Amino acid sequence: MCLKPGSISMDFSSLSSTDFYLAIFTSVFGFFVLILLLVLKNSSFEIWVTRKIMHFVGGTYIAFIVFYFESIMGIILAIIFFLIIFLSFLFFSKFKVLKEYFVLKNCRSDERDYTFIINTATTLIVLLILLIIFNDYPPIFTAGTLTIAWGDTSGEVIGRNYPFIKYKIFSQKTLTGSLAVFTFSILSILVSVFYYQLPFNVNWLWKIVIGGIACAIVEAASWKWFDNILLPICGSLVMFWLIFSV
């Protein structure tokens, strides 16, 4: 069995053995992510650190694994398997910490109950829409997903630890955090270009820089967690611009 990333069949009636095994692997990966969450939740890390680690790990995995599936049914099956594991954990008393984290626990100081799970569900829906739209162009989806996984995560990690020049549009931001979003958004695009072995054009460089600036502006001007929705869209559009620009 040889795996390589490619477009996904939208045939809901077919399920290959490759997709079945990938669905199991993905659900097992999700299981270990939940275990990691439990470990971090009971550690000395602040809750925002735990949130960003999950953000980075989950986003990176999704960005690269999706296009190894052959059909949309494989992805749906992976989601079903994971939900069975997640819901089992959620309603099992020994792991009630998951319920506190995903449903009843604030992950940001200005968030209310259920915000985290609504945020996560909305982000995944946006990624699914991008997947369907850019199904025939894997680098576009991967770039958009990495932009949120790497760009958004680095912005908060660096911005919180090195808060140089604070400013506020809708939410509190820092210049260092915005520069991190800019840098890692560029890295996300470049990794997508070279991972899929696109014929790199030197003229792309200035476009990639503009794309990084656009992602930084989107993150800086986003209200609350709306950057999780807007950043992958922005990153995907930048890659679309690169691929289809003359």
pLDDT surpassing 70 at residue 239: yes
Contact predicate 145/58, CB 8 Å? no
1 lies in a domain? Answer: no
148 lies in a domain? Answer: yes
172 lies in a domain? Answer: yes
244 lies in a domain? Answer: yes
The pLDDT assigned to 156 comes to: 84
The mean pLDDT of 228-243, rounded to a whole number, is 91
9 lies in a domain? Answer: no
31 lies in a domain? Answer: yes
pLDDT surpassing 80 at residue 87: no
Domain boundary among 83, 105, 127: 105
Contact predicate 140/239, CB 8 Å? yes
Of the two residues 89 and 58, the one the predictor is more confident about is 58
Domain boundary among 61, 88, 105: 105
pLDDT surpassing 70 at residue 51: yes
Say which residues have a Cβ less than 8 Å from residue 48's Cβ, sequence separation at least 6.
Answer: 107, 108, 156, 160
Same domain, 98 and 141: no
Question: How many folded domains does the chain comprise?
Answer: 2
| Phi-psi region at 70: left, alpha or beta (left = phi > 0; alpha = psi -120 to 50) | alpha
The boundaries of the domain holding residue 183 are 135-246
pLDDT surpassing 90 at residue 119: no
Same domain, 158 and 223: yes
CA-based max dimension of the chain: 58
Confidence bin at 1 (pLDDT 50/70/90)? very low
Confidence bin at 5 (pLDDT 50/70/90)? low
Same domain, 144 and 72: no
Mean pLDDT, the chain, integer:
81
pLDDT surpassing 50 at residue 14: yes
71 lies in a domain? Answer: yes
Same domain, 163 and 243: yes
CB burial readout 16-44, b (16+ within 10 A) else e: eebbeebbeebbebbbebbeebbebeeee
What type of residue is 122?
T
Stated pTM of the model: 0.83
pLDDT surpassing 80 at residue 230: yes
118 lies in a domain? Answer: no
pLDDT in tens, 143-173: 999 999 998 888 888 888 888 787 777 777 8
Per DSSP, helices labelled H in the chain are: 17-41, 47-65, 72-90, 96-99, 115-133, 138-146, 153-161, 175-195, 204-221, 227-244
Same domain, 146 and 237: yes
Domain boundary among 105, 126, 160: 105
Take residue 120 and report the two structure tokens written for it.
Answer: 């996560």
Does the CA dihedral 26-98-37-160 come out positive or negative? positive
pLDDT in tens, 209-228: 999 999 999 888 877 777 88
β-pair partners for 166: 174
Same domain, 79 and 139: no
